[in-house]
Structure 1
Amino acid sequence: MARQLARGMGSFFKECGCSRPARCPHPYTIRFRDALGKQREEAGYGTQDDAIEGLTQIYGEKKKTAPFVAEIRRELGRQTVAEYAKQWRPGSAG
């Protein structure tokens, strides 16, 4: 499997201070941007290939999402609960 990731997919790394991190038993962590554009991290990947596979799945899901759906999700993510309640229950006061 190729170790080169596409630009924008994210990155993977180990947070340990081992002298030979490629051979230590510590898990890999991946860092990526979610659909809302926020940076996220997920840990617990046993191998480099597992970490790359995790990034590939996340990247694929983001690419499959239609642009208008992604925009709606971003808008909903920015709303406060009060704004959301006003949108769906116009008669309620915050």
Structure 2
Amino acid sequence: MTWPDSSPAAWGPSSRTAAAPSPPAALTRNRSASGTPCEQREESGYGTQDEAIERLTQLYAEKKTTAPSVAAARRELGQQTVEECSKQWRPRQRNLTDCSTGWHVDSSINVHIVPRLGSRKLNSVTPMVVERFLDEMETAGSAEETR
């Protein structure tokens, strides 16, 4: 004897067909100097699981070949915000002071980059974040051109 609702059709849509699957994500786990886990971050946007695995393999290889002092400097830099980094970076760019180039760079940083990305930590600025920023800038430019 079978139960009335035992057929798969009576169960409703399966989770496989109800929603489109999300793209695979590569999950990275970082460790502190003592070897304990300290941060976990997910990177999304990989088309296939193989691409996500390839990214994790690449990160693992980089970690194994990076000197501890370099890794510490990267961690420290990664905790800075975009705004903090730009304030430290700009004075070191002496060659940008010719003509009005330095003023133009300062203006672009203060008007476009800092309001949109300034509070973001550098280690969270991924290629996808940059792509969205550029798309937003292009859209804003197109809107101004049509006025």
TM bucket by the smaller chain?
Answer: 0.3 to 0.5
Higher strand fraction: Structure 1 or Structure 2?
A: 1
TM-score, normalised on structure 1?
Answer: 0.47
Query: Which protein has the larger Cα radius of gyration, Structure 1 or Structure 2?
Result: 2
Higher helix fraction: Structure 1 or Structure 2?
A: 2
